[in-house]
């Protein structure tokens, strides 16, 4: 019986393959906190993962394939949490708290938002928009319609866009936030900040609803 022979550097053991892929994905996520996607090399990824650089091509075809897989995993995890949020006692506040926690705990994601949305020519830009903003543009307006006085589709879309920007912008402008406004990362994790965003949003929802009611009564 002919025995299978491993190609040099390529593990036959499925568990080792899973472990190596996980190391490369972790390395990609780690390096994103330090530099833009375009400046990350395959050699750096391999060194950070402590794996032969040929494994990037073996498992993911190329660097772009590795980061696409990372985006897919992050997106799947993120939107699984969104389903649970919809069942919370206060889904809007739970949504705000969850996104803030994710951005605080995963600085690579905040970096990716800043880098890829600012660079429309990036290889990852279109993929990133498909995996996150477009999915959010479907999920969040529906959450708002079910849990606020806003029932109109267009108004719910505008409210959702405003809310996601209120949450994300302080993370994208971290340097200005810290050095000009003296708002630390620790403050961004506090219940006070979550409540601030929530109240700003709910007040805006009330204002929109009152304006609509006034217009309809004229």
Mean pLDDT of the chain, nearest integer: 85
Q: Which pLDDT score is estimated for 153?
A: 96
Domains and CATH numbers, the chain: 70-213 (1.10.357)
pTM: 0.79
Cβ burial, residue 209 (10 Å; 0-12/13-18/19+): middle
Query: What's the pLDDT tens digit per position in 115-133?
Result: 665 665 666 778 888 888 8
Q: What is the spatial distance between Cα 97 and Cα 156, in angstroms, rounded to a whole number? A: 20
Q: Which of 20-34, 47-61, 66-80, 203-217 has the lowest mean pLDDT?
A: 203-217
């Amino acid at each position: 019986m002919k025995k299978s022979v491993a190609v040099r550097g390529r593990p036959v053991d499925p568990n080792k393959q899973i472990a190596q892929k996980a190391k490369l994905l972790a390395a990609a996520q780690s390096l994103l906190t330090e530099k833009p996607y375009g400046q990350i090399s395959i050699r750096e990824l391999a060194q950070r993962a402590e794996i032969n650089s040929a494994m990037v091509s073996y498992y993911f075809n190329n660097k772009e394939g590795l980061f696409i897989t990372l985006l897919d995993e992050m997106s799947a995890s993120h939107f699984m949490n969104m389903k649970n949020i919809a069942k919370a006692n206060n889904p809007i506040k739970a949504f705000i708290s969850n996104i803030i926690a994710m951005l605080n705990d995963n600085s690579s994601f905040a970096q990716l938002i800043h880098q890829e949305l600012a660079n429309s020519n990036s290889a990852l830009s279109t993929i990133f928009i498909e995996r996150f903003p477009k999915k959010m543009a479907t999920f969040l307006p529906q959450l708002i319609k079910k849990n606020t006085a806003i029932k109109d589709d267009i108004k719910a879309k505008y409210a959702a866009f405003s809310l996601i920007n209120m949450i994300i912008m302080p993370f994208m402008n971290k340097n200005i936030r810290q050095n000009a406004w003296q708002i630390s990362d620790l403050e961004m994790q506090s219940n006070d900040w979550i409540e601030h965003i929530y109240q700003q949003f709910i007040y805006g929802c009330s204002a929109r609803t009152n304006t609509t009611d006034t217009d309809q009564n004229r």
